[in-house]
């Protein structure tokens, strides 16, 4: 199964205010392993970059002055993502911008048409870790993924990190590269998800204190006394535990 893990950087937050994409970064997975193929492009947006966005990604208008416009790279980008599942964190945001750029250059397509579907890794994270922070940095910390290179947001680096996060959330795969151990690559091959305990939060074990153990023993005693013929449990084991 071919998948493209993708991220963008933009001039601002709102397509409705004519904000534009200024960077696209994407990496390819095949059967849940990096192939080494990637797509990366800076883009001239023909408009100013919001101060808030600049603080996030650090990409200046001066740096983008000689970069191609989206219309010039649209075919190359579409060729890269065509027919693949596309994995994006907070997909609605990036897809809205990509569809907007495709519409502006009269590409006559949308992401849902050119791709084999869009997977929102943020939705997966919210289901997996409800009530917790699920941005990329928080997920890296939770899954034990090194993101020390991520000083500012960058589309290609974020796509590479997201690939690790996505694999960690959906199967616990610990290695993104090809098997270099030698031998027949097709013999005894298993292409299913690989569980890696190191990619999951440690189990928290809360031990009861003496007061809790005493209350538990008393509760079991009351239950035992309420049964005419005695219960399956007895006070004896609880007392032994309390000691």
Nearest-angstrom CA–CA distance, 184 and 148 = 36
Largest interatomic CA distance in the chain: 88
Asked if 242 and 209 count as a contact pair (C-beta separation under 8 A), the reply is no
- Strand locations in the chain (E): 2-10, 21-30, 33-42, 85-88, 118-120
Q: Where in the sequence numbering do the catalytic residues fall?
A: 153
B/e letters for 56-76, b = 16+ CB within 10 Å, e = fewer, are ebebeeeebeebebbeebbee
What is the chain's length? 243
Measured over the CA atoms of residue 123, residue 124, residue 125 and residue 129, the dihedral's sign is: positive
β-strands 21-30, 118-120: how paired? unpaired
């Amino acid at each position: 199964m071919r998948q493209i893990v993708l991220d963008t950087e933009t001039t601002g937050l709102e397509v409705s205010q004519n904000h534009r994409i200024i960077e696209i970064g994407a990496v390819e997975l095949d059967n849940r392993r990096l192939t080494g193929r990637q797509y990366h492009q800076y883009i001239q947006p023909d408009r100013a970059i919001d101060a808030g966005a600049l603080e996030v990604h650090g990409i200046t208008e001066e740096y983008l002055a000689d970069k191609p416009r989206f219309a010039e790279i649209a075919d190359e980008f579409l060729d890269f993502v065509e027919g693949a599942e596309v994995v994006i964190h907070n997909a609605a945001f990036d897809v809205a911008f990509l569809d907007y750029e495709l519409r502006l250059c009269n590409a006559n397509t949308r992401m849902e048409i050119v791709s084999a579907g869009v997977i929102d890794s943020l939705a997966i994270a919210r289901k997996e870790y409800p009530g917790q922070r699920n941005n990329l940095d928080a997920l890296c910390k939770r899954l034990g993924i090194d993101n020390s290179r991520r000083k500012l947001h960058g589309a290609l680096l974020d796509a590479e990190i997201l690939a690790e996060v996505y694999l960690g959330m959906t199967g616990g795969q610990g290695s993104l590269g090809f098997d270099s151990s030698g031998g027949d690559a097709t013999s005894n091959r298993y292409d299913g998800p690989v569980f890696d305990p190191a990619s999951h939060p440690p189990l928290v074990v809360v031990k009861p204190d003496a007061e809790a153990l005493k209350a538990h023993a008393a509760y079991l005693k009351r239950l035992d006394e309420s049964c005419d013929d005695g219960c399956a449990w007895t006070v004896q084991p609880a007392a032994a535990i309390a000691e």
